[in-house]
Structure 1
Amino acid sequence: MAETTEVSLERYRQLAAGDDSARSGHYRDLVTSYYDLVTDLYLEGWGASHHFAPLKPGDSHVDALAARQRFLAERAGLCPGMTALDVGSGVGGPALNIAGISGAHVTGLDLTPGRVERARGRARELGLEERTTFVHGDAMYMPFEDASFDVVYAFEAICHTADKDRTHAEIARVLKPGGLSIGYEWLAGDGLTDGERRRLVEPVCRYYALPHLTTPGGLAEQLRRAGFTGVVVGDAEATGDLTATWDYLDQLADLGEQFDDSPVRKFMVQGARALTRAAREGAFLIEFWEARKPGTLPGRDS
């Protein structure tokens, strides 16, 4: 018999309730349980691209997400004939958009089987089956051969992995020599006190299926340990100002509070409040990164 929503939510809460070490020990169950609960409401309230983007005056939420994806595709130099891997591809929003605008072939990798199936369905609906492939798998144990991709990117997904050093090492492994690792990541602020982490970061981890959050300095070191060069973390133009985005998220939370039809909706409203509170106090960040694997891509000058 299938679990009720209430039982599933309680099971997720129990998985999320431990400390960083405990959550890391059962990260697969943590992440898949979370997305099984929230994906339908994500699609309802946020669309198919499950990440954040700066909101500029006059732009819609959908416009902002598309602009973020276009910026990344252009910054990565994606074009026809190139191959890209989307780590944590979800229901396929960014992968399908980037494949459509760049002409590159995009492979999506996601830990949650249901989201992979949704992405494949959306690829069929959009006529992008030849330009995309969606694979069920773990970013810490990628099911791809060495040197398979020109670019590996992620939109706020590596934060769900338990061992981020291993994940970046896997990205380096599947990149071709000279290939680019690029994306956006959820981070905790550098220099937080233990009390600030408990009060502000820990609730974000528990509401959003995060084993733990690294910091900007930690991310830069992880990239260097994986062998990358030219490491950039926190480019101001690429990252953008998310203040208006947090206002928008609070507006959605206000709207969600008007409904009492779903315990999951109430849970998501509480999570949104925790996220915007941590962001406004500087304890939670979303930062851009890019780094290159040593070597030269075929067809490029050294």
Structure 2
Amino acid sequence: MHEASPLEHYRQLAASGEAIRRENYRALVTSYYELVTDLYMSGWGESHHFAPLSPDGALADAVVARQRFLADRAGLRPGMKALDVGSGVGGPALNIAAHSGAHVTGLDLSPRRVAHARRRARESTLRTQCDFLEGDAMCMPFPDNSFDVAYAFEAICHTADKDRVHAEVARVLKPGGLSIGYEWLAADGLSADEVHRLIEPICRGHAMPHLATPSGLTRQLRDAGFVDVVVGDAEATGDLTAAWDLLDRMADAGEAVDDSPLMLFMCQGARALTRAARQGAFLVEFWEARKPGTPAG
């Protein structure tokens, strides 16, 4: 009898529909990153998010510039404590800690990615400035009022209950603390057919139980008790057209040199993103929101 491969197991789970993906989000996300982490790092480095690209600029420089922008916008500085929600292999946390002087704690669901981030921290000069914990953003292992800033780079989209995540962020932030970041979203007002054709392939290809919308994210933040909510700052988000072009070129190159099932799966996922983005159905949007109260000191 044929035994399903890890990729086949993942694809079966991802294709089971939103309700099943939500119920089994932990297996969905951790099995996905067991499969793709090495390819992510070989193609995108150690910061797995998008950023505006200049015509002659390097991807590595662009993602670091994105991280520094967020750190500066959040006002991070020495003596502050930041939480990286969905910290991955640790690239953004290490870069933000080095840039800002703040202490950064990373939280991620994937044991493999947490292990890599811890190793990178130990090997760097930031070993006392960064911690990485395995844990669930829907049930954070931190006391109330622990952090000055909580941020995420395109990570909350992997969670099953985004309302709970934002409520947990509000709980662990200090009074006056800031929630800030970038998120994968489906455009508001899509038809059922557009969701099926354009958004569902993204969810299946990238371990997403479902995608929120800009209006949904705004409601989630407000329901969590945040004020001064901003979703969709054009200057902060930037133009990602060149990033979609790069992703298509990377998919072309990947298929040309490697016809393995995993590479073909990754290339299909990349093209699902660029197709939906170019049709305006898929968005990467900036957000920020503040917890009511006056910061201590």
Using the size of structure 1 for normalisation, the TM-score is 0.96
Q: State the secondary structure of the residue aligned to 1:54.
A: coil
Matches within 5 A, 1:256-267: 256-260=254-258, 262-267=260-265
Alignment-derived partner of residue 240 in structure 1 = 238
Cα separation, 2, equivalents of 1:6 and 1:284: 31
Asked if 2 retains the 8 angstrom alpha-carbon contact of 1:6 and 1:263, the reply is no
Q: State the secondary structure of the residue aligned to 1:187.
A: strand
Alignment-derived partner of residue 200 in structure 1 = 198
Q: State the secondary structure of the residue aligned to 2:49.
A: coil
Cα separation, 2, equivalents of 1:283 and 1:22: 23
Cα separation, 2, equivalents of 1:268 and 1:133: 30
Q: Deviations over 1:160-199 (max 9, x none)?
A: 0000000000000000000000000000000000000000
Change (3 A) 1:105 1:190: same
Alignment-derived partner of residue 280 in structure 1 = 278
Matches within 5 A, 1:182-193: 182-193=180-191
The answer as to 2:266 corresponding to 1:298 is no
Q: Deviations over 1:103-122 (max 9, x none)?
A: 00000000001100100111
Match of 1:36 among 11, 34, 38: 34
Alignment-derived partner of residue 67 in structure 1 = 65
Asked if 2 retains the 8 angstrom alpha-carbon contact of 1:99 and 1:105, the reply is yes
Alignment-derived partner of residue 87 in structure 1 = 85
Alignment-derived partner of residue 271 in structure 1 = 269
Alignment-derived partner of residue 289 in structure 1 = 287
The answer as to 2:22 corresponding to 1:24 is yes
Q: Which moves more between the two structures, 256-265 or 143-152?
A: 256-265
Matches within 5 A, 1:41-60: 41-60=39-58
Cα separation, 2, equivalents of 1:226 and 1:111: 22
Q: State the secondary structure of the residue aligned to 1:241.
A: coil
Alignment-derived partner of residue 135 in structure 1 = 133
Using the size of structure 2 for normalisation, the TM-score is 0.98
Unaligned runs of 5+ in 2: none
Cα separation, 2, equivalents of 1:63 and 1:86: 20
Alignment-derived partner of residue 123 in structure 2 = 125
Q: Deviations over 1:183-227 (max 9, x none)?
A: 000000000000000000000000000000010000000000000
Report the Cα offset of residue 140 of structure 1. 0.2
Runs of 4+ in structure 1 over 6 Å off: none
Q: State the secondary structure of the residue aligned to 1:183.
A: strand
Cα separation, 2, equivalents of 1:273 and 1:279: 10
Cα separation, 2, equivalents of 1:6 and 1:91: 27
Q: Deviations over 1:64-108 (max 9, x none)?
A: 100100000000000000000000000000000000010000000
Asked if 2 retains the 8 angstrom alpha-carbon contact of 1:87 and 1:110, the reply is yes
Report the Cα offset of residue 16 of structure 1. 0.2
Report the Cα offset of residue 261 of structure 1. 5.3
Q: State the secondary structure of the residue aligned to 2:53.
A: coil
Q: Quote the RMSD (CA, aligned, Å).
A: 1.2
Cα separation, 1, equivalents of 2:233 and 2:92: 21
Cα separation, 2, equivalents of 1:123 and 1:260: 32
Alignment-derived partner of residue 145 in structure 2 = 147
Match of 1:222 among 220, 223, 231: 220
Unaligned runs of 5+ in 1: none
Report the Cα offset of residue 265 of structure 1. 1.2
How many equivalent residue pairs?
Answer: 296
- State the AA in 2 paired with 1:226: A
